[in-house]
Amino acid sequence: MLRAVLEARRTGRLTVAAFLAAAATAAVLLSHLGRDRTFFYDEWDFVQGRRTGLVDAFLEPHNGHFSAVPVLVWRLLFATVGLDDYRPYRWTLIGFHLLVAGLVVLYVRRRMGPVLGLCAGVVVCFLGSAWQDLLWPFQIGFVGSVAGGLGALLLLEREDRVGDVLAAVCLGVALACSGLGIPLTLGVGAELAWRRRTWPRLWVVAVPGALYGLWYLAYGGESDASLDNVRILASYTTSSAAGAVAALGDLGLDWGRFVAGVLVALLGVRIVSDRGHPHGSWGSSSPRWPTGASPASPGASSASRPRAATCTWERSSSCWSLPRWDGPSASRSRSSGSSPSSPRSRPGPTATCCGKERPTCA
């Protein structure tokens, strides 16, 4: 058991180091590839029309997108570095891009393990099919929306008030970066609506969604949105998914549709097979409480409840991953001893997984 824990920590450290090396390499490569570029097209709209002004400069849509966050970033760059040097603008985009890659690593790592998390992050770092979003600083709007959506999904896993508030802020940022924040917000809403126990937390989506609705009523009336677009929504969605899958493997759009269909079918099978699982949805990293110590158990005192999964077995794609270490404070609490009624002072309970007894708490 100890050897497995040490090996898991070693693997985790190696994958983190490998990702940092890949991110640094991607930053240098992107900086070099964009060395001969300068302000282009939509960027001049910000240079000429958004450098001054107050409320309207931030709230007026750009091509139908709510772009308050990109305008804020660009105005900070106008005030600090001016227009003589384009490199700070490109470096800002690279920072946004690497933030997205890091969030992808965290999201996949918690569900599929550190190795697959590293693979996903490296693919995003060097995603050549997205070259326009990686070399054109104006695209911090789209990249920022993706970062906000991923941040919200990760913060929801805290399952506390602070995490929910920060998740709502992230969704607000995603919506204020570009229209790409809308499907990301809907995705977070679907995540919360999937299980009845998370319905009370739907305010995380409702609050930023309502604020976006107020902005749209005041400023978005001239956008291209219309009910007629509903007719082509299904076709547009499937083509977008096919294009995204095709971009990952440098495939044609027809192959992208085929692979996307296979992935959707596999996902549907997995969701249906996991609906009855007592620990929640696939890949959930919520705490696994020992028998008799569930926070919902009647009469269970706060002293007898384990803190948020200092040592839990988290689900991976087919089994359970190794325990997670929550830092030196958790180690000190274990070494100082606990009361006889504490779950950690008793022999660790087990759970059956893949035909074997697995400890759920050390």
Domain that holds residue 23: 2-225
Would you place residue 338 in the very low, low, confident or very high pLDDT band (cuts 50, 70, 90)?
Answer: very low
277: left (phi over 0), alpha (psi -120 to 50) or beta: beta
Residue 346 located in a structural domain: no
pLDDT digits (tens, 9 = 90+) for 60-89: 888 888 999 999 999 999 999 988 889 999
pLDDT for the residue numbered 172: 96
pLDDT digits (tens, 9 = 90+) for 123-160: 999 987 778 888 999 999 999 999 999 999 999 999 99
The Cα 195–Cα 280 span in angstroms is 8
What residues contact residue 83 under an 8 Å CB cut-off, 6+ apart?
39, 47
Residue 329 located in a structural domain: no
Residue 298 pLDDT > 70:
no
Q: How many CB atoms lie within 10 A of CB 34?
A: 21
Distance from the Cα of residue 306 to its chain's centroid = 27
Residue 289 pLDDT > 90:
no
Nearest alpha-carbon partner for 343 in 306, 295, 297, 299: 306
pLDDT for the residue numbered 195: 86
Nearest alpha-carbon partner for 73 in 41, 50, 53, 44: 50
Q: Give the percent of the chain with pLDDT over 70.
A: 74
The predicted model gives 14-18 an average pLDDT of 94
pTM (2 d.p.): 0.70
Residue 76 located in a structural domain: yes
pLDDT digits (tens, 9 = 90+) for 208-253: 999 999 999 988 766 666 777 777 888 888 888 888 888 877 778 8
Residue 85 located in a structural domain: yes
Look up residue 345 and give its amino acid. Answer: S
Nearest alpha-carbon partner for 277 in 194, 183, 184: 194
The Cα 128–Cα 125 span in angstroms is 9
Q: At what angle do helices 42-49 and 68-80 cross, to 10 degrees?
A: 70
Look up residue 28 and give its amino acid. Answer: V
What residues contact residue 43 under an 8 Å CB cut-off, 6+ apart?
89, 136, 137, 138
Number of domains in the chain: 1
